Structure 1
Amino acid sequence: MNKRIADYYYIFDGRSGRSVAVERSSGKPASVIPNKELDDEMKLARYLESEQSSHVLRAFACWCARQTWQEEAPSQRCYSLWNTARAVCTRRAPVSALREVRAASDNEAVAASTIGLPRRSPEAAQLLAARGCADPDVHTAVHDAMHMSLRWAECVAPSDPETAIRMMRTRHRNALLDAINGDAPFTTKKHRERSDPDPGV
């Protein structure tokens, strides 16, 4: 069975700027638990990076965050985080820009982590997915964007969260496998010159 929000405590770590998922049963952060929820996907992601580049990996993290836009347009804050991450993976902005845009959303991230997620708020998961893809460390970006997109899928399908989580995980794996085979839905080369419209306009 897939993990759910109830299986974790969410703590905002001011030092790293991350919403850290701590497994209730072990007391360990989700990202370091052996056989953790996203172990198979992270192995695929690292293989993709070794075959292509960290920029493609960042593009995948952005794609994961964007999966949370299916029900409604993101907030301006989410879009700003996502757009900055996209600019980094297409080499239009330095990694330092990620630190700046994340710092501007720290207060909202604290509320999303400690109040929004425990209340199964899709908007909280959406914000944290956007912050995830904008983490300066690309492996953390991939892990957090995937994790929070799973939490979003759970939040928007309260009547059948297990199926929603399973379907999102399948989308993650298929996107990674497509990328490894050279046909990703998120490759930076394909979208290098594309500029998505600002939802605030």
Structure 2
Amino acid sequence: MNKNKQNYIYVYDENHHQIIVIDGETGEKIDQKDDRVTSILKHFQEEGLTAKLRKFAVWCARQANEEIKPIQKKLIDLAESAIKGEATTKQLRELYDETEGAAIATDTVGLRQGSDKAPAFLTTRECINPNPYDAALQAARFHRLWAELKHKGSGDEKFLKEIKVNTAGDVVRDTEQKQVDYLLDLMNTDD
């Protein structure tokens, strides 16, 4: 990750249902190249491993949420039903569209104010993105953003000791490594 990451602005693109990163100094959109997580997710997509893509999105949501609120539980429950083949794309789309207003409000208020609760909610919402690849990709991005904002906003000394006063970039790299580790574990499972 770039050392100037703290100068980036994160905006939720409601048309494409994804997070966009903008350079705070130039105002230009940052071209996001494939990282290790994206490469593995693309492999899963190419192999048709949709359940594993959605499992990863759910894992990201659970990592980013210390406590699951009722609406988040509803989202995760539907995603887990989709993993088992018990929920349809139509059901996913309906709930995804139904929560669009909450996503926009979360972006407008939460992300722009630097709240770590905003990307935590958006990570959870992505679990039900009708496209399993997009669900996993966006959940991974929001999960990393959550880790960065949590690190920046934490005045808790215990948290600082746990991360050994790493920079935000180190926290994002650590989060990405955890994501890679989980994806590699998923590769080795039959379900």
Match of 1:55 among 38, 48, 51: 51
- What one-letter code is carried by the residue in structure 2 that aligns with 1:11? Y
How many angstroms does 1:23 deviate by? 2.8
Please report the TM-score for the alignment, with normalisation by the length of structure 2. 0.79
How many angstroms does 1:82 deviate by? 1.7
Q: What is the rounded CA distance, in whole Å, between the counterparts of 1:179 and 1:76 in structure 2?
A: 27
Equivalent residue pairs, number: 175
CA contact (8 A) 1:19 1:113 kept: no
Question: How does 1:17-166 map onto structure 2 within 5 Å?
Answer: 18-24=17-23, 27-28=28-29, 33=31, 35-36=33-34, 39-51=35-47, 53-69=49-65, 72-158=66-152, 160-166=167-173
SS in 2 for 1:139: helix
SS in 1 for 2:20: strand
What is the percent sequence identity of the aligned residues?
25
Match of 1:171 among 178, 185, 188: 178
- What one-letter code is carried by the residue in structure 2 that aligns with 1:146? A
Q: Residue in 1 aligned with 2:11? A: 10
Q: Which runs of 5+ in 1 are unaligned?
A: 190-201
Relative to structure 1, the CA distance from residue 9 to residue 45 in structure 2 (aligned partners, 3 Å threshold; closer, same or farther) is: closer
CA contact (8 A) 1:87 1:93 kept: yes
CA contact (8 A) 1:5 1:151 kept: no
How many angstroms does 1:163 deviate by? 2.8
Q: Residue in 2 aligned with 1:195? A: none
How many angstroms does 1:146 deviate by? 0.2
CA contact (8 A) 2:10 2:111 kept: no
Q: What is the rounded CA distance, in whole Å, between the counterparts of 1:175 and 1:61 in structure 2?
A: 11
SS in 1 for 2:33: coil
CA contact (8 A) 1:146 1:172 kept: yes
Q: What is the rounded CA distance, in whole Å, between the counterparts of 2:32 and 2:146 in structure 1?
A: 23
Q: What is the rounded CA distance, in whole Å, between the counterparts of 2:122 and 2:175 in structure 1?
A: 16
CA contact (8 A) 1:82 1:130 kept: yes
- What one-letter code is carried by the residue in structure 1 that aligns with 2:8? D
Please report the TM-score for the alignment, with normalisation by the length of structure 1. 0.76
CA contact (8 A) 1:65 1:126 kept: yes
Q: What is the rounded CA distance, in whole Å, between the counterparts of 2:80 and 2:170 in structure 1?
A: 29
SS in 1 for 2:72: helix
Give the root-mean-square deviation of aligned CA atoms. 2.4
Q: What is the rounded CA distance, in whole Å, between the counterparts of 1:162 and 1:7 in structure 2?
A: 12
CA contact (8 A) 2:54 2:127 kept: yes
SS in 2 for 1:35: coil
Q: Residue in 1 aligned with 2:161? A: none
